[in-house]
Structure 1
Amino acid sequence: MADPKPINRPLSPFMIGPYYRPQMTSISSIMVRITGIATLGTVFLVVAWLLAAATSPRAFATVDWLMTGIVGDLVLTAATWAIWYHTLGRLRHLIWDLGYFVDVPAGERMGWGMFIGATILTIITVIAV
């Protein structure tokens, strides 16, 4: 049996750039995973807020000051975008599971639709609240 000749090729993290061009379908899929983790972080913030409310007025005032200040507004707005994006991503996967829009051009349009849709829905949510 002949010894296989090793092939010198880059490993996957080094594929981005000269060997691989990120596509909208891959970027939107990765963003669904990132926004899922960000949503989990948002849940921890809300639980901390509720625990502070149950603990003492001083603890609640501290956490409430942080959550309703400028930093809290920015974090909660970003969290709202993440929740909407993740929701649209799950909807996209449901559509794909049903066998619709599985071709590449439709997948790219759906990826752009997720980014734009999450932004529009976030603006509507911020205005409504």
Structure 2
Amino acid sequence: MSTNKSVDKRPLSPFMIGPFYKPQLTSMLSITHRLTGLVITLGSLFIAGWLISLAAGPYWYSGYAYHMLAWYGQALLFAWSWCTLFHLCNGIRHLGWDVGFGLDLKTAYLSGYTVVIVSAVLTIAVWILAYAA
């Protein structure tokens, strides 16, 4: 135990998750932005496989389409589309920050909630339009 009182009162690192640090919307959106980038990359491999099967002919395409149209394929595509739209909306938010717009705390939180809501609405709209077509 340290006898120096000034050392004991130092602020804790924000990376100490748990009872020491309360996650904030801005940090959660930052982590989500990074994770959605990873999911987009992996999902793009799924889409590339679909294009390759399409080019390979009807036999390969029918096998691939079977999995894409199954519930798990649809769930993966839905997750991929939400990740793509969230990443896009949050990227636009970051572009605003790059030019100096919305840097105050109130606007940062408002734009964060807007990103979440708009990405969800756009994902649902894309899927409604896809099923309607």
The answer, yes or no, to whether TM exceeds 0.5 is yes
Which residue does 1:47 correspond to in 2?
Answer: 48
Number of residues of Structure 1 aligned to a counterpart in Structure 2: 123
In structure 1, distance between residues paired with 2:95 and 2:13: 32
After superposition, give the CA deviation of every residue in 1:70-123 in whole Å (9 maximum; x if it has no partner): 111111111111011000111010000010110112111111111111110011
Q: What is the TM-score of this pair, normalised by structure 2? A: 0.83
Of structures 1 and 2, the one scoring higher in RCO (CA 8 A, sep 6+) is: 1
After superposition, give the CA deviation of every residue in 1:35-82 in whole Å (9 maximum; x if it has no partner): 111111111001111111222422211111001221111111111110
After superposition, give the CA deviation of every residue in 1:7-28 in whole Å (9 maximum; x if it has no partner): 7998775x11121111000111
Runs of 4+ in structure 1 deviating by more than 3 angstroms, as ranges, are 7-13
Instruction: Give the aligned residue type for 1:41.
Output: L
Instruction: Give the aligned residue type for 1:98.
Output: V
Long gaps (5+) in structure 2: none
In structure 2, distance between residues paired with 1:12 and 1:87: 27
SS at match of 1:100: coil
Identity, in percent, stands at 31
Instruction: Give the aligned residue type for 2:120.
Output: T
In structure 1, distance between residues paired with 2:110 and 2:29: 11
Which residue does 2:72 correspond to in 1?
Answer: 71
Long gaps (5+) in structure 1: none
Which residue does 1:111 correspond to in 2?
Answer: 112
In structure 1, distance between residues paired with 2:62 and 2:110: 45
